[in-house]
């Protein structure tokens, strides 16, 4: 079973995928993802968080590539959030996903990388 929980923050649509992303769940998952992309007002970044994903099959990896192609067609950047050293991170690497889509270790890194440089850091002085 594949659990999906979308969350939208400052122009970023974060979709957390949990459970297993395999041949049995990929159609359901991509349908929900496409609906979220179409219904939400234009996010500039789709971040797919695989941190709670227990299993990623080759078909699941292909489904991710198809989802990112859909985003690209709509002018939306995409990235993956994959904790390093996990079985899912190995599949991401072996399938070539990491060469086609930016991969970050956590949500903060993914969101920070998508922000304009001048918005990343705010210097303030206490008086």
Q: How do residues 38-49 score in pLDDT, each as one tens digit?
A: 766 666 888 899
Locate the domains of the chain by residue range.
Answer: 2-120
Which of 49, 38, 47 has its CA nearest to residue 13?
47
pLDDT band of 54, cuts 50, 70, 90: very high
Half-sphere exposure of 55 (CA within 13 A, CB side): 12
Which of 78, 83, 59 has its CA nearest to residue 2?
59
- Which CATH entry fits the domain spanning 2-120: 3.30.70.270, 3.40.50.720, 3.40.50.11540, 3.30.750.24? 3.30.750.24
∠ CA 121-126-108 to the nearest 5 degrees?
25
Q: How do residues 25-37 score in pLDDT, each as one tens digit?
A: 988 888 877 777 7
pTM: 0.80
């Amino acid at each position: 079973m594949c659990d999906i929980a979308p969350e939208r923050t400052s122009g970023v649509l974060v979709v957390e995928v949990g459970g297993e992303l395999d041949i049995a769940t990929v159609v359901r998952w991509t349908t929900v993802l496409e609906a979220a992309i179409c219904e939400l007002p234009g996010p500039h970044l789709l971040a797919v968080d695989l941190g709670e994903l227990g299993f990623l099959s080759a078909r699941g990896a292909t489904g991710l590539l198809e989802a990112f192609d859909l985003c690209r067609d709509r002018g939306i950047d995409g990235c993956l959030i994959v904790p390093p050293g996990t079985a899912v991170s190995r599949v991401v690497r072996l399938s070539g996903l990491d060469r086609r889509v930016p991969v970050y270790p956590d949500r903060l890194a993914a969101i920070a990388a998508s922000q304009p440089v001048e918005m990343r850091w705010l210097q303030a002085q206490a008086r």
